[in-house]
Amino acid sequence: MQAALSCLEQCAYDHRDFVERLEGAPCDLARVGQAGVAPVQDFRAPWWQPGGHVQTIWSALCASTRGPCRADVRWQRQRWETPDGDFIDLDVAAPGSAPQAPTHVPTLVLFHGLEGSSASHYALALARVCADRGWRLVVPHFRGCSGEPNRLPRAYHSGDAAELDWILRRLRGQVGGDLLAMGVSLGGNALALWAGQQQEAARDVVRAAAVVCAPLDLMAAGLQLGQGVNRRLYTRMFLRTLVPKALAKWELSPGLFDRTALRRARDLHAFDDIFTGPVHGFAGADDYWRRASAKPWLRQVAVPLLLLNARNDPFVPAASLPARKDVSAAVQLWQPPHGGHVGFSSGAWPAHLLAMPQAVTAWLAQWLEDNKEQSNG
């Protein structure tokens, strides 16, 4: 076994050169609208991570969130009362050892994925990368994802652009430096939807945004998750927490939905048809998936927006990914062949998760006001 591990360590594909090339690669608004190959398109997973399933699961369970990064993650929790009488919890990681970062530093807001949180593997890796950059990271938890049940019957969903708008605008009024946004999976679709619906108004709120592994066509992704190994593995994992949370809401609001039918739900379509759709103003799962999908809005995006999707993502069919014709000139598409669903682990055994957040933050950094002034000077 030791010999096998040594062999893996010697042969694992290391992507530090890829990140270094990205850090030094110039990019301006004209390039964003082009279909040229970006450096991240070269991403290849280690040879011992064959296929999207392995790249997804290994990154979530086994890869290091630290890698060569020395920064520690120290979250400071804040609670905001919402306009509708509920609350959300935000975790803030300030750079350095001080609990509060200087007001002028850039702030990156991360909207997590389905049943994610600040403890998700991608959030921890991103927090360390932000600390190295001297950025503040804010992770707003969608309702019910912070470890404490919310007060109202509503929860969260992929099309909750109004909630994101309230969060981003409130943060814009609080932070003194540039504001950036990033969304992962469900949070990524919601962020892309927000950017498309806001159009030019989004530029008054954030400098730029990045979306990672988002199911921009919810119908295609939902059907994908309801089939084969996806249904047995990932869907079962999601329902293990989604169903108890929904049942707890029924106890607070009896008759909110068909409780017996929910207990029989075996895929996300059934869950969204019984709970997510009706509770949040949709006719059912199909109506929810159609109206909440960000893909039809991508031609309306005016703020610089990066869309990163691995073409072997087991959650998102490659055929459903947007092409150049589907997006505005403000959108840049990165669609590498490898990466899985929010995977992108690289480096020597057991691999680390820094390549993706380093690449994405490098792309976002070019839009910061200080960087723009230096380039103009």
Q: Residue 219 corresponds to which tokens in the numbers above?
A: 């119908």
C-alpha to C-alpha distance for 343 and 60, rounded to whole angstroms: 7
C-alpha to C-alpha distance for 130 and 358, rounded to whole angstroms: 9
Phi, psi of 244 (to 5 degrees): -60, -35
Catalytic residue IDs:
185, 313, 341
C-alpha to C-alpha distance for 305 and 364, rounded to whole angstroms: 9
- Classify the C-alpha dihedral 262-341-312-351 as positive or negative: negative
Residue pair 205/169 in contact by the 8 Å Cβ criterion: yes
Integer-rounded Cα radius of gyration of the chain: 20
Q: Residue 240 corresponds to which tokens in the numbers above?
A: 């293990």
C-alpha to C-alpha distance for 125 and 312, rounded to whole angstroms: 21
Give the three-class secondary structure for 323: coil
Residues 6+ apart with CB under 8 A from 132: 69, 71
Phi, psi of 30 (to 5 degrees): -65, -40
Alpha helices, H only, 231-322: 236-252, 259-263, 268-271, 277-279, 285-292
Q: Which of 366, 186, 216 minimizes the C-alpha distance to 301?
A: 216
| 13 torsion bin: left (phi>0), alpha (psi -120 to 50), beta (else) | beta
Cα-based torsion angle of the residue sequence 241, 242, 246, 247 in order, rounded to the nearest 10 degrees: -40
